[in-house]
Amino acid sequence: MNSIDRGSGDPVVVIGGGFSGLSAALELAKSGIPVTVLEADSTPAGLAGTFDVNGQRVEKFYHHWFTNDAHIIDLVNELGVTDQVIHRPTRTGLYFANTTFRLSRPLDVLKFKPLAMIDRIRLGLLVLKARKVKDWRQLEGVTAAEWLIQLAGPKVYEVVWEPLLKGKFGSVADEISAVWFWNKLKLRGGSRGKGGGEVLAYYRGGFAALADRMAERIIQLGGHVECNARVTGITSAGGAVTGVVAGDRVFPARAVIATPALPIIADLLKGHVAEAFSASLGKIRYLANICLVLGLDRSLSDTYWLNVNDPQFPYVGVIEHTNFEPAASYGGRHIVYLSKYLPEDAELYRMRDADVLAFSLPHLKRMFPKFDKSWVKEHHVWRARYAQPIVERHYGAMIPPAGTPLSGFHIATMAQVYPEDRGTNYAVREGRAIGRDVARSLGESPR
């Protein structure tokens, strides 16, 4: 379709109403530029979308912020909702050899009996060593395994980090870049309270409540946010984007900012750019995620985030959300996430929801012997096809630029967040950056 002229009065269309898309749209609206956000789901928020538990919204996929997430904090302050952010200490653990070990504070590391004392010290010093890395580029050609063994020794890697890497990335664990792991250590190590314990942040009413606030602000500034608007194509003329197709509607576009996963964007661009460019967007691979969310009538444990170092357990983590945000917020329901990253053709990913539950409960019983299936009062299974970019060695060279050969068509996705990993904090950073860049390119002045 090439029938629409790209006029200066048309809005900028943002594809995707997650935090990247909303942040980009907010910057454009603040600059006085007409903007329309098209979101496929019934509400904005993207991967931070929620569902209802006893009248309260909770994320489909677990979410929190670190206390050093400066970009999201700046956004919250700008929107005037700082009082909605809650900071709480959390308890982190590690399940190893049929035992749960607490690993929330530096002292916990020194009590970690599966390691000899010298290796406990090496484990404890790892975060300090990671924070001393001045130039992450020196790690681009090194795998996470090589780097961790170098810094902490083979025993620490074998007991602590190798099972987590394999649980997270499966068959591609040995390809993961040291840059990815370095950033994880640096980020978590910087979110600490006075006693050295981890402190995390949450938004009252769930992250989707913040997405709603962003959408309201965009609308107040003259923009539009349309949900249930799944984008299926684009239009172009003379080498420039002219519109976005969603259902049976064509939205004229002065410019487009696309925030979905790169393979989805590649499909949109086919026939509008050279085939070689579309193909280049497929260089970055992704893992899917399946998340089983249980609503229980009682707690499993007192641990918020339990990393699982047991290859027989099918999930990489057990996250008891209500050890962070109290069960009272959900009418007394205890919310537990069982999360697994995996290929889209994995058997678990393709199971029916009821079969996922039946498959998972015996494993949970083995980990928590007192657990009984009668505790489960509700369950939900959520899937995300493009959940985790595979950050392999030399990943930086694989990232596509924000600009494309199609004039006016811009890309801002979680796969371009680097050296940091995906997350709402960096989604906000990248979204605001591309929004400001597009505003400047269109020659508008900020309000």
Closest CA to 337 of 59, 131, 101: 59
- The three-class DSSP label of residue 135 is coil
Q: Is 378 annotated as a binding residue?
A: no
- Say if residue 260 is preceded by a cis peptide, omega within 30 of 0: no
Q: Helices 117-131 and 178-189, interaxial angle, to 10°?
A: 90
For residue 370, give both structure tokens. 């007192």
Q: Is 40 annotated as a binding residue?
A: yes
Tell me the sheet residues that pair with 305.
92, 319
Q: Is 308 annotated as a binding residue?
A: no
225: Cα separation from own chain's centroid: 22
Q: Is 3 annotated as a binding residue?
A: no
Q: What is the DSSP letter of 177?
A: B
Q: Beta-strand (E) ranges in 253-332?
A: 255-258, 286-296, 305-308, 317-320
Rounded CA gap, 286 and 268, in Å? 18
Q: Helices 70-79 and 207-220, interaxial angle, to 10°?
A: 50
Rounded CA gap, 378 and 372, in Å? 13
**Structure-token match 């962003």, residue found:** 214
Q: Which residues are annotated as a binding site?
A: 20, 39-40, 231
Q: Which residues are annotated as a binding site for FAD?
A: 20, 39-40, 231
